[in-house]
């Protein structure tokens, strides 16, 4: 049997250097993570988008570390090839480098994830340095950062104007300097994302940031057509929500008609 070659941290910079796009999708559970791992997705992100996508919250702000860990553990168990990144939720890293290291160690030990992601640039660079100094791979997240949606005034595209672009570049360079291996750019003007991508040695992974970033990430439910939210920057690559409704409708009909279970599903002796 051929052993699956695991994606490792050094592969991402190599992919940037040879111009191979990095693929990242969110995943929150074992079967979904298995499907995406088998499809060749390079990075599975256990995002705190878990809150609004899986737990029925209206934003990511209320998600806790204790809620994230079992989902991250399930995804890590499923990933044979993919590199697993787990988010630290709001309130678990901002206070101090010590808080960030403690939360990251807790997540890494209990979930088996390969790396940690949290949001912000220069303002959390001390935390990033402390986390990477502790031997924990770190992925940054800039642009529209959902945990700060109250401070940003809602879902607003970032990187507008000369100052907006410079701020993004300075934040991204601070993360790279602090040891980040990649930076997610969310809802950023494409030309600003291109400028950040050119300024960094480490890869950028875009979501609503144009095609010039070194990789792309989507929330899997948006990608597969589950749920009602269809952000402009996302593309629906399937109709999984409809397929689930169709399967459940057929099941209900068969049970009501006593067409299921049939003899082939029944133990008779």
- Compute CA 234 distance to the chain's CA centroid, rounded to the nearest angstrom: 14
Minimal distance, residue 24 CB to ligand KIV, in Å: 8
Instruction: Report d(CA 32, CA 211) in Å as an integer.
Output: 26
* Interface stretch with ligand KIV, choices 6-14, 44-52, 225-233, 246-254 (CB under 6 A): 44-52
Minimal distance, residue 219 CB to ligand KIV, in Å: 5
Give the E-state strand segments of the chain in sequence order: 22-26, 43-46, 83-87, 115-117, 138-143, 182-186, 204-207, 215-218
Rounded alpha-carbon distances, angstroms, from residue 137 to 12, 43, 49, 64, 239: 12, 13, 20, 21, 35
Residue closest to ligand KIV (Cβ): 47
Backbone angles phi, psi at 226, to 5 degrees: -115, 135
Query: In the range 56-115, which residues lie near ligand KIV by CB under 6 A?
Result: 87
Containing H/E element for 17? helix 9-18
Query: In the range 134-153, which residues lie near ligand KIV by CB under 6 A?
Result: 141
* Interface stretch with ligand KIV, choices 47-55, 99-107, 152-160, 165-173 (CB under 6 A): 47-55
Residue closer to ligand KIV by CB (options 218, 248) is 218
Residue closer to ligand KIV by CB (options 184, 200) is 184
Instruction: Report d(CA 76, CA 91) in Å as an integer.
Output: 23
Minimal distance, residue 188 CB to ligand KIV, in Å: 12
Query: In the range 173-232, which residues lie near ligand KIV by CB under 6 A?
Result: 184, 186, 207, 217, 219
Q: Say which residue the tokens 């950040």 belong to.
A: 196
Phi-psi label, residue 214: left if phi above 0, alpha if psi -120 to 50, beta otherwise: alpha
Residue closer to ligand KIV by CB (options 89, 97) is 89
Of the candidates 220, 228, 159, 172, the one whose C-alpha atom is nearest the C-alpha of residue 200 is 172
Query: In the range 7-26, which residues lie near ligand KIV by CB under 6 A?
Result: 26
Active site residue 98: no
Residue closer to ligand KIV by CB (options 30, 233) is 233
Residue closer to ligand KIV by CB (options 78, 219) is 219
Q: Which of 17, 94, 149, 186 is catalytic?
A: 186
Neighbours of 29 (CB within 10 A): 15
Residue ranges in contact with ligand KIV by CB under 6 A = 26, 45, 47-49, 87, 141, 184, 186, 207, 217, 219
Which residues are tagged catalytic?
A: 186
């Amino acid at each position: 049997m051929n052993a699956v070659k695991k994606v490792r941290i050094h592969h991402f910079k190599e992919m940037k250097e040879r111009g191979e796009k990095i693929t990242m999708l969110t995943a929150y559970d074992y079967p979904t993570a298995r499907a995406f791992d088998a499809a060749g997705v390079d990075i599975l992100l256990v995002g705190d988008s878990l809150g609004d996508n899986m737990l029925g919250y209206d934003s990511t702000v209320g998600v806790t570390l204790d809620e994230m860990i079992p989902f991250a553990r399930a995804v890590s168990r499923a990933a044979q090839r993919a590199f697993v990144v787990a988010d630290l939720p709001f309130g678990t890293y901002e206070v101090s480098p010590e808080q960030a290291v403690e939360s990251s160690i807790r997540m890494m030990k209990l979930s088996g994830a390969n790396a940690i992601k949290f949001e912000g640039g220069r303002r959390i660079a001390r935390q990033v340095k402390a986390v990477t100094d502790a031997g924990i791979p770190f992925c940054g997240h800039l642009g529209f950062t959902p945990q700060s949606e109250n401070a940003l005034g809602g879902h607003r595209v970032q990187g507008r104007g000369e100052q907006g672009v410079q701020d993004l570049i300075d934040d991204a360079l601070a993360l790279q300097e602090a040891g980040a291996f990649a930076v997610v750019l969310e809802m950023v003007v494409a030309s600003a994302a291109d400028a950040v991508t050119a300024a960094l040695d480490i890869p950028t992974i875009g979501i609503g940031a144009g095609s010039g970033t070194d990789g792309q990430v989507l929330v899997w439910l948006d990608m597969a057509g589950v749920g009602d939210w269809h952000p402009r920057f996302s593309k629906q690559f399937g109709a999984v929500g409809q397929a689930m409704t169709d399967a459940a409708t057929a099941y209900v009909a068969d049970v009501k008609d006593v067409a299921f279970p049939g003899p082939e599903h029944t133990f008779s002796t």
